[in-house]
Amino acid sequence: MDGKSRRFGILSINWGGFAELDVRSERFRWMGGARFAAAGVCSLLKRRFHPVTVYYLPAANDSSNSQAHPENRDSSGDHNMPLSAAANGNGIALQRSSNHRFLPEPDQPIPSGWTQISGNFWCIMVLNHSHILTNGIMFPEARFHDGRMRLVLINDTLDLQGHIQLVRDMNSDRGLVDTTYMKIIPVLAVRVLPAKSSMTYTLLDGEPICCQAFQAEVQNARFQILTCADTELGSTKTDF
């Protein structure tokens, strides 16, 4: 893990299945929004699972973090955007920086208090928002200013029926919940270490980055984001 660069993202990090689906969909761009369905068919026909070790620092159980993260507000009371810091490089590529709140340096071991999960996964997602697509609601309760990310682990028990149900859930107002093949964990920081390199894609905010292993955390008050707070999608209100 000798990388020296750092990237900032606003939305998500996708590794594995969903990243592959997104990249494959580019060949169907002429189909418009239907390109994801076409790429999804390809994914259904050939699901690949990858051995990975994931370390994460769990977030507190309470969902109200405005008091726990007072730096999320400026002097006017407006929300500042907590930002996912993602990796870029041959390994975990994060600059040495005193700005890290929870992450160890790339060449340092995981500190106490973190949890380790190892296994074969179809997809790993780290989300800093409520949606994965315009109409794909993952976490209706998620807010940019809540100081946490949602770690989504989809393991090798995902079958065809589960894959179809996952797509349905993503297009519903209720969002995602834990299943036999999917675990959703609110986290403050995460490190992902694939067993092999260059075997799938990693996307940061939908753009490919040249890395496999990465680590990420929320960086508070890095940007000012203007959104329509009262935008209503279906029956669910969101500040995304």
Q: Which two tokens stand for residue 171?
A: 């297009």
Distance CA 15, CA 31 (A): 24
- Reported as a single tens digit per residue, the pLDDT across 192-218 is 998 876 578 888 877 788 777 888 887
Q: What angle do helix axes 35-45 and 160-170 make, rounded to 10 degrees?
A: 160
Phi-psi region of 34 (alpha: psi -120 to 50; beta: other; left: phi over 0): alpha
Q: Which two tokens stand for residue 126?
A: 């780290």
| 32 burial level (CB within 10 Å; 0-12, 13-18, 19+) | exposed
CB 187 within 8 A of CB 13: no
- Predicted local confidence at residue 197, as pLDDT: 66
Please give the radius of gyration of the chain, using alpha carbons only, rounded to the nearest integer: 17
**What pTM, to 2 d.p., does this model score?**
0.70
Residues of the chain with pLDDT under 50: 1-2, 62-98, 233-240
- Predicted local confidence at residue 114, as pLDDT: 95
- Predicted local confidence at residue 235, as pLDDT: 45
- Predicted local confidence at residue 136, as pLDDT: 61
- Predicted local confidence at residue 65, as pLDDT: 41
The residues near 14 (Cβ < 8 Å, ≥ 6 apart) are 22, 123, 124, 125, 201, 202, 203, 206
Pick one of 3.40.50.150, 1.25.40.10, 2.60.200.40, 3.30.70.580 as the CATH number of 5-15+49-225: 2.60.200.40
- Residue spans per domain, the chain: 5-15+49-225
Give the Cα-Cα-Cα angle 234, 159, 23 (nearest 5 degrees): 65
Sign of CA pseudo-dihedral 199, 205, 209, 211: negative
What b/e sequence results for 137-148 when a residue is b if at least 16 CB atoms lie within 10 Å of its CB, and e otherwise?
Answer: bbbbebbbbbbb
- Predicted local confidence at residue 159, as pLDDT: 84
Q: Where are the alpha helices (DSSP H) in 67-216?
A: 160-170
- Predicted local confidence at residue 36, as pLDDT: 59
- Predicted local confidence at residue 49, as pLDDT: 87
